[in-house]
Amino acid sequence: MRVLFIAAEMAPFAKTGGLGDVVGSLPAVLRRKGVDARVLIPLHGPIKAAFGDRLEHLFTFAFSRRPGTADVHIYTTEQDGVPVYFLQSWPFFGEGDAIYTDLNWDRERFIFFSQAAMAVAWELGQGHHGGEPWMPDVLHVHDWHTALIPFLLHEARFQPGWEDVASVLTIHNMAYQGWDAGGYLWMAGVPGRHDPHLIYQNKTDNLLGIGIIYADKLNTVSPRHAIELHYPRFGEGLEGLIWVRDSDLVGILNGLDMEHNNPETDPALARNFSWRTFRTDRIENKRALQYEFALEQRDDAPLIAIVSRLVEQKGMDFAAEGLRWVLAETSAQLIVLGTGKPEIEEQMRRLEWDFGWKAKVYIGYNAALAQRMYGGADMLLVPSRYEPCGLTQMLAMRYGALPVVRETGGLADTVVNYDNGPADQGTGFVFLWEEPEAVRHTLRWAIDTYRNRRAAWERMQERGMRIDWGWERPVRQYIALYEQALAKVGRGQVGLTEIRQPH
């Protein structure tokens, strides 16, 4: 079975959040299970700067569409055994210093990318890359950026070679949709989207909506969120389309790359540790982290961490108000790593201005620091308004920090609330209300547990560290989803084989 992942991000090349992590780790595991998974992403400017010397030019072709003909250059490299293709084409991809720009330009860029991706799949299928012909069986697309592809495939199906290619759309985030793209779609020569549901629900110009209707199979990244998406609170105006596709939608919890995220070997940590040794060894990471953030090095001060995009989704605005209380009332220390909306960054900075001796805020993106925070902090706060899956709470548990989370989406599926006793149950602390008071009192409960119920705390740490968050189970669910998508386009069993490396 050949699966081409088509996405905007893939770690380590391009990542702004969990989408990059998933596209960066799932294909390698699929390959180990006999699926020939490969990835196509844009050659974002920063990739060229950071990874340019690893990239090899594979082929160039002229790609024609209504506005004209463009040269498309495909570069390649291998990552964890996965062939990765990078698409460069002036003026859309290959320049600039960011993965995303503004919505207007991004809509144009990703419509182009989606159209060109179809052409790349075809070129690979013809063997134009110089290797064996490699026509994908499944196009696995992610989020609004590539959600047009299932429609383009639907249109192409009447041409030889495309009849039995299937599409799967993974929804990582419903709030970003690529809406009002009609003018750009028209300019790019994309035919009308005539599905009656799209027309009646007025979503023919909504890129994610188009994907939801035309993909053969759909999934989101946790079981709880698959349910949530049916309701206006989470469906963001597309819940009506979700109901239409209800029987084709599943929730598959994201996995973690357990090898790269391993406290026993992670080179980012001051001291490595495991679930056997954390009781004695982990503390050194806390001390190093306090030093790094210029905080007082106190073992007994509960250290609360935030690693997050600072946007409304993550609930950081109301959390900041709750944290203000916690900083005033307790001896807890706070460290924040994140970037995002200027107003929310400002709210965080204000905490540092007011409580500078115990609260430190790092506005920016820093992957190694994130790992050190999971490995050294006592708690990780994730107060999201909605969370399709969320990886940081799993990373925290893996590294022995207890998550304090709001009960939604993947947070609800992965964190078990403390039993407020001997911790026969529990891997963290869970609250429901989107209120500063909920953050305040849940953190105070956690701080109290940390101080007065040490053994219970450590049992929760151990329990969290021993959970297997790996891709083994999700990967089986993805393979089943690919099989169901292929069955929808009339394909029988498509075998899993031992994968030969292409290079």
Q: Which residues bind ligand ADP (CB under 6 A)?
A: 17-19, 21, 307-309, 337-339, 365-367, 370, 389-392
Q: Using CB atoms within 10 A of its CB, is residue 421 exposed (0-12), middle (13-18) or buried (19+)? A: exposed
Site string for ligand GLC, 154-183 (x = CB under 6 A): ------------------xx----------
Of 72 and 336, CB closest to ligand ADP:
336
Q: How far is the CB of 222 from ligand ADP (least distance, A)?
A: 10
Of 134 and 318, CB closest to ligand ADP:
318
Of 73 and 172, CB closest to ligand GLC:
172
Site string for ligand GLC, 10-29 (x = CB under 6 A): -------xxx--x-------
Of these partners, ligand ADP, ligand GLC, none, which one is at the site of residue 221 (CB under 5 to 8 Å by kind)? ligand GLC
| Strands 359-363 and 36-42, sheet pairing | unpaired
d(CA 416, CA 93): 43
CA dihedral 191, 197, 199, 201 (to 10 degrees): -130
| Residue count, binding to ligand GLC (CB under 6 A) | 14
Backbone angles phi, psi at 230, to 5 degrees: -75, -10
d(CA 171, CA 321): 31
d(CA 24, CA 432): 32
Stretch that binds ligand GLC, among 197-205, 382-390, 395-403, 494-502 (CB under 6 A): 382-390
Identify the CA nearest to 257 among candidates 80, 498, 7, 501: 80
Of 173 and 371, CB closest to ligand GLC:
173
d(CA 112, CA 125): 20
d(CA 109, CA 312): 26
Stretch that binds ligand GLC, among 37-45, 389-397, 460-468, 474-482 (CB under 6 A): 389-397
Of these partners, ligand ADP, ligand GLC, none, which one is at the site of residue 76 (CB under 5 to 8 Å by kind)? none
| Strands 2-6 and 138-142, sheet pairing | parallel
Of 274 and 339, CB closest to ligand ADP:
339
Instruction: Quote the tokens at residue 388.
Output: 């399709």
Of 314 and 358, CB closest to ligand GLC:
314
Q: How far is the CB of 390 from ligand ADP (least distance, A)?
A: 4
Site string for ligand GLC, 416-455 (x = CB under 6 A): ----------------------------------------
Identify the CA nearest to 190 among candidates 200, 178, 176, 172: 178
Alpha-helix residue ranges (DSSP H) falling in 257-315: 278-281, 283-292
Site residues (vs ligand GLC, CB under 6 A): 17-19, 22, 172-173, 221, 254, 387-391, 410
